[in-house]
Structure 1
Amino acid sequence: MSTQSFASHSPAAPLSAARVAAFAGHHAEHCRIEVVGATGSTNADLLARVAADNVSGKSPSALTAPTLLAAEMQTAGRGRAGRSWLSAPSAALTFSLAWPFSVPLQALVGLPLAVGVTIAETLADFGVAVQLKWPNDVLYGGRKLAGILIETATAPDQQVWAVIGIGLNIALSEQLQQQIGSRSANLPPAAAQDRDLLLAALLTALARNMQQFASAGLADFVERWNRLHAFAGQQVLILDQGKTLHQGVALGIDHIGRLLLQTEPGSTPITVMAGDISLRPKQG
């Protein structure tokens, strides 16, 4: 991170692309940083720009470099499996990072897990110890603090892009938490004191780790993810649209990001792929 000094902003102060850029480290120097007041979905906006035809400069909005798009408010934010992501102005950090990869789309299957590790390790630098719930949630005190939605696309020039959407709760009101209808957590006030600084730290870590993922895949993140596994050694249920598919002891993830589940004592673990699946701890 840059050591340049800036006046502290309150968590409710508007995000500043200039301050984020100034705080960001050298790994993020080649990233475009954009902030908007409101939009439907930062993921949808960047995916549309991936699809734009930039041949002969026909579409100046087409992406030509890694791009971070942050929004103070998303009116149509999306979570995994088509779920809505609800927020309010300044109540969360909601942003997406479009990143180009020189690998086939199928090589990105473990990317959400690497992003989860990145968020957790960055928050640890701010004094916030979190855990990871497979496949793409960040938990604080057992409650959901952040979610990850990654969508991939191939541009007209055949460049492969991943659009990494992240929603990190800062100050959700009790009313909004009730509307969400799930156990959620807010970031401790000390860590959220300056959202520009926090966003810059996340961007710096993401840029560094996306380069690492591009060169080595998930391999460099498996052990780190397993150390942060919220349900390691616990009995869990694997649900799909409310129906139980599997139950057993969650052991961690394998080299491509599948959940290892021991369904019987002493048995060989089965592997569970990511998808429209929810992991819940088994009660009792």
Structure 2
Amino acid sequence: MTLTFPMPAEPESAPLVRLERIGMLLAGSDPQGQQRIDVEAVAETGSTNVDLMQRLSSLQRPLLLVADRQTAGRGRAGRPWRAAPEDSLTFSLAWRLQRPMHALLGLPLAVGVALAEALEVFGIRPQLKWPNDVLRDGAKLAGILIETAADGRQGDGTWAVIGIGLNLAVPPGLEDELQRAVGAAPELQKAPRETVLAIIASALAGVLEEFEARGFGAFVKRWEAFHAYAGQAVKIVENGRVLQEGTAVGVDMMGRFLMDTEGGQVEILAGDVSLRLQDA
């Protein structure tokens, strides 16, 4: 008789982030010394946004979910986001706003302000590309994906799940053209991940509270301070077709993109459109 023994399961790898350390840092940055954001970390998942969207009905507090690797991460318009743990930071924050869903116009831009201001702490000078990209020297440093769901438990509240993918290094093996299009922040590799995440999460918390109270109008000047294309010739493209051409001006109090055209100033509402420089 042959005896067989089950092979021991390989232990799951521990995430790179230390939760206790993040918790201490978040509490230390709060005026009341409290950790207002719960934090979870996993070594790998499909998508942190999807994970949090599926858990909204059970959440009582803001939750930051960090993943070393996302196998089904998504960017704007469902585009895939792929990144290795050592090359990136990928995470999502679930936050409940006391605003109905239709009152969240401009939220992606406000989140961009929070991320840009947090990066400045590390000596990085980012730029913001409407509506939801963070650039460095014209190359994409980070992307923002926000998904929302009405909270039927309490009035007109809305849960926002804010997904962020931040490049720490340019992945090896990219074609030259794509390599030039990817920005990176190697400065962040020198800092503990917990410190970087805590500073970003604290900045997000402050911006979300201000957005809830005042809307995007409070962030227009702060967004324009990082405006990547201010005064430059740009075009608005949808499905390969140029919709508008003109000069980038800024944004209005609703978060619409303003550009001067031959027919006068126009406002572009975020949708399935792409903003590009005219020579791109």
**TM-score bracket for this pair, using the shorter chain length:** 0.7 to 0.9
CA distance in structure 2 between the aligned counterparts of 1:260 and 1:174, rounded to whole angstroms: 37
Q: 1:115 aligns with which of 104, 111, 114?
A: 111
Q: How does 1:242-261 map to 2 (within 5 A)?
A: 242-261=240-259
Q: Corresponding residue for 1:43?
A: 49
CA distance in structure 1 between the aligned counterparts of 2:43 and 2:207, rounded to whole angstroms: 28
Q: Corresponding residue for 2:96?
A: 100
Quick one: which amino acid aligns to residue 23 of structure 1? L
How far apart are 1:196 and its partner, in Å?
Answer: 1.1
CA distance in structure 1 between the aligned counterparts of 2:78 and 2:180, rounded to whole angstroms: 16
CA distance in structure 2 between the aligned counterparts of 1:126 and 1:257, rounded to whole angstroms: 27
Q: 2:237 aligns with which of 212, 222, 239?
A: 239
Q: Corresponding residue for 2:145?
A: 149
Contact 2:188 2:196 survives alignment (8 Å): no
Quick one: which amino acid aligns to residue 19 of structure 1? R
Q: 1:21 aligns with which of 20, 23, 26?
A: 23
Q: Corresponding residue for 1:31?
A: 37
How far apart are 1:242 and its partner, in Å?
Answer: 1.7
Stretches of structure 2 that go unaligned for 5 or more consecutive residues are: 1-14
CA distance in structure 1 between the aligned counterparts of 2:215 and 2:272, rounded to whole angstroms: 23
Q: How does 1:209-224 map to 2 (within 5 A)?
A: 209-224=207-222
State how many pairs are aligned. 260
Quick one: which amino acid aligns to residue 29 of structure 1? Q
Q: Corresponding residue for 1:68?
A: 64
Q: How does 1:143-182 map to 2 (within 5 A)?
A: 143-158=139-154, 159-175=157-173
Q: Corresponding residue for 2:125?
A: 129
SS in 1 for 2:55: helix
Quick one: which amino acid aligns to residue 37 of structure 1? A
How far apart are 1:188 and its partner, in Å?
Answer: 2.7
Deviates more, 1:23-32 or 1:112-121: 23-32
- TM-score norm. by structure 1 comes to 0.86
Stretches of structure 1 that go unaligned for 5 or more consecutive residues are: 1-12, 53-61
CA distance in structure 1 between the aligned counterparts of 2:182 and 2:144, rounded to whole angstroms: 14
**Structure 1 63/201 Cα, relative in aligned 2: closer, same or farther at 3 Å?**
same
Contact 2:145 2:163 survives alignment (8 Å): yes
SS in 1 for 2:162: strand
Quick one: which amino acid aligns to residue 222 of structure 1? V
Quick one: which amino acid aligns to residue 277 of structure 2? P
CA distance in structure 2 between the aligned counterparts of 1:206 and 1:220, rounded to whole angstroms: 15
CA distance in structure 2 between the aligned counterparts of 1:45 and 1:130, rounded to whole angstroms: 29
Q: Deviations over 1:140-195 (max 9, x none)?
A: 11100000000000234254100000000012322257796771111033564222
SS in 2 for 1:255: coil
CA distance in structure 1 between the aligned counterparts of 2:188 and 2:168, rounded to whole angstroms: 11
Quick one: which amino acid aligns to residue 40 of structure 2? E
How far apart are 1:234 and its partner, in Å?
Answer: 0.5
How far apart are 1:277 and its partner, in Å?
Answer: 1.2
SS in 2 for 1:106: helix
Quick one: which amino acid aligns to residue 216 of structure 1? R
CA distance in structure 1 between the aligned counterparts of 2:45 and 2:174, rounded to whole angstroms: 19
The answer to whether the aligner puts 1:82 opposite 2:78 as a matched pair is: yes
CA distance in structure 2 between the aligned counterparts of 1:123 and 1:171, rounded to whole angstroms: 15
Deviates more, 1:156-165 or 1:38-47: 156-165
- TM-score norm. by structure 2 comes to 0.88
Quick one: which amino acid aligns to residue 53 of structure 2? L
SS in 2 for 1:189: helix
Structure showing greater Rg: 2
Deviates more, 1:123-132 or 1:20-29: 20-29
Contact 1:192 1:198 survives alignment (8 Å): no
Q: 1:202 aligns with which of 197, 200, 203?
A: 200
Quick one: which amino acid aligns to residue 128 of structure 2? L
What RMSD, in angstroms, separates the aligned Cα atoms of the two structures?
2.0
